[in-house]
Chain A
Amino acid sequence: MSACSSAASRGTSWPGLTADANNAYLAEGQYIYAARLSDGSKLWQYPDKAGSQQFFAAPLLTPDGQLIVGSAGTDQGLYSLDPATGKEKWSMPFTGAKDRWIAAPLVINDTIYAPNNDGSLYALKLATGELLWSLSIGHPLWGAPVTDGKLIFLTSLDHFLYAIDPQSQKIIWKVDLGGSAAGSPALSADETTLYVGSFSSKFFAINAANGSIRWTANTNAWIWSDPSINDTNVYFADIDGQVYALDASSGQNSWPNTTPDGPITGSPLLTTDGAIVATESGSVYSLDHNGKVTWSTAIGGKIYTSPVASGNLVLVAPLGAQYLLYAVNEKDGSMLPWHFDGK
């Protein structure tokens, strides 16, 4: 029985990754790491020694210079760190939730909106982490919320997409997605349409004002990846590895045969040349505007985390590879000489 207890490990998942112009912030296992992108050196790690924390959610850089990250460990804490030093900024982390933090939070003005695995959305003071209010929604919340500045849009594993008014702290509308949604919705540039996929193997375009469905598109498999949007198309992938480029107004797929080499859970990273996706097979693919592969780079391990851009670099955080973080050039996929190993 002891042999299989490790299989029942309560906390393993893929890393969360965020970057600014100079540094990457990696939520990986029991630590948050900050890595300098010029040479891959470690700036800091939090905590100094492994404790009860476990980090999956992508850390959030806030406009006032905080790095907010939730723990999926037994501490159930939401932490504010100084991105420069890794020191805690609040006097104490917020530990008022009943469960773990798997989703990244959202900041609007001076308030943090953080969805928790206990099914509640918590509103906290950005400056101190003090609880303002919480709204119980139901099932676990794994997707980061998005906002149009007025409403907060949030997916749930309970199959619904919710629109929440933070002023009244009420649900304004909700729409059934036919299956759990573990990713985030994307909001169109004009803030009128939400795009979101679910485990029902359907992709939805939804009127942000009232929750009515504008169109749906069928996919081959569950959709985990968050959509990415440009002026004309919405891009996402399914866990069978098909990449989709749907016309944002009609839902017509212009990439019917774009299937790199494995399942995709991360969001496509849009570039001027097309889109970059990372696969479970451990490779990164650059696709042109027609969905054709322009370059691919084998990283190793399994990649579930969305690739993240920093300048001309594409950062990749695989699971089970030799290193924790890799950087490739956006134009040709050539790998930078440094790899970050967390040491």
Chain B
Amino acid sequence: MFSDPWGFFILNPFTNVLLLIYNLIGHNFGLAVILFTILIRAITWPLTGQQLKGAKVMQDLQTDKEWLDIQKKYAKDREKLASEQMRIYKERGINPFASCLPTLIQFPIIIGLYQAVTRALAATPLTLLQLARSIYPIMNAAAIIPLNSHFLWMDLGRPEGIPFPAGFSLSFLPYGFPTLAIIVAVTTYLQTKLTLPPSTNPNDQTASMNSMMTIYMPLFLGWLVLNYASGLAIYFVASNVLGIVQYAMMGRVNWRNLLPGGSEPAPSNVKKNK
């Protein structure tokens, strides 16, 4: 236990829950990954709510007249600016880390989910041995293994691709046309774009970083899916779609971001709505 706390508290429980779902629904690993992602999203729902609430408060603060005034007034005195910011936080009962803490708690959960999917697919002898050790005795591992990795047109244990016509090949796409990689890239783009808070300041560095993320994150995940087991891609797609649904249910999806120019920063002289 203490030699591997990550495995004991996160990875092994996650792997076993995933396999339990797989067993309960009749040995469909793709569906098990989707249900497992829904389960994790449901468990972390309150954390996401807190995170959004905290982010909203901080976002509103960016348009607050007093806040903007001290930014301008103490632009060259960082120490004074910090103390004034702290004063405003204190006066209004704002915790500037309220949106970060839930994210920090969720992060290991997301990593654990991702690793559980990878481990359960056990594509090599070494990973199968690791899987064998992480399955609880009550699960009857011998009956479960090998997992049925076929889902729709995919073998979830290997990268996805629809074979090219005979005689045609592309060396950088050894598995064929990467349908799933494209779906992952598109859903990642949509999720990132739709859930970005509207920027209120044209000089906002965070907005600039978010804008970069909108481009690079879909490309990065798409690249991952090109090279890794498609079971992970199912997780990415499920997670992206559920993320959009969850934000929509909380009223936090910015559909305008999908329109050309929709994510342009709002004018900086926006008056605070109190």
Contacts and interface: CB of A to CB of B under 8 A. Distances in A.
B227 A201 contact: no
A117 B126 CA distance: 15
Interface in A1-23: 1-5, 7-8, 10-14
A91 B134 CA distance: 44
A72 B114 CA distance: 23
Interface stretch (A34-42, A108-116, A164-172, A177-185): A177-185
B146 A139 contact: yes
B125 A304 contact: yes
Contacts of B220: 1-2
A74 interface: yes
Nearest to A99: B158
Nearest to B158: A99
Nearest to A156: B146
B114 A4 contact: yes
A52 B174 contact: yes
A5 to B, nearest CB: 6
B112 to A, nearest CB: 10
B174 A178 contact: no
Interface string B139-155: 00111011000000001
Nearest to A200: B142
Contacts of B210: none
Contact of A222 (B126, B132, B175): B132
B88 to A, nearest CB: 34
A77 to B, nearest CB: 11
A3 B227 CA distance: 16
Contact of A12 (B115, B124, B143): B124
Interface magnitude class on chain A: 35 or more
Interface in B107-138: 111, 114-115, 118, 123-129, 132
B141 A199 contact: yes
Contact of A7 (B118, B146, B158): B118
B142 A8 contact: no
Contact of A10 (B125, B132, B229): B229
B224 interface: yes
B142 A199 contact: yes
Contacts of A56: 124-125
Given A10-B229, A74-B174, A265-B129, A102 B124 contact: yes
B137 to A, nearest CB: 11
A12 B126 contact: yes
Contacts of B224: 5, 8
Contacts of A222: 132, 141-142
A27 B107 CA distance: 37
Contacts of A208: none
B124 A72 contact: yes
A239 interface: yes
Nearest to A95: B174
B232 interface: yes
Contacts of A140: 146
Given A4-B111, A139-B146, A157-B146, A11 B141 contact: no
Contacts of A14: 125-126
B247 interface: no
A236 B128 CA distance: 19
Contacts of B67: none
A182 B128 contact: yes
- Which of A2, A180, A200 lies at the interface centre, i.e. has the most chain B CB atoms within 10 A of its CB? A180
Nearest to B236: A1
B177 interface: no
A180 B142 contact: yes
Contacts of A224: 125, 129
B142 A178 contact: yes
A62 B169 CA distance: 33
B124 A8 contact: no
User: Of residues B115, B129, B155, B174, which shows the largest number of chain A Cβ atoms within 10 Å of its Cβ?
Assistant: B129
Contacts of B141: 199, 222
Interface in B167-192: 174-175
A180 B229 contact: no
Contacts of A7: 115, 118
7 contacts: A1-B114, A7-B118, A13-B124, A14-B126, A199-B141, A239-B132, A304-B126
Given A3-B111, A140-B146, 14 more contacts: A1-B114, A8-B115, A8-B229, A10-B159, A13-B126, A13-B127, A56-B124, A74-B227, A158-B146, A182-B125, A198-B142, A224-B125, A224-B129, A319-B126
Interface of B: 111, 114-115, 118, 123-129, 132, 141-143, 145-146, 155, 158-159, 174-175, 220-221, 224, 227-229, 232
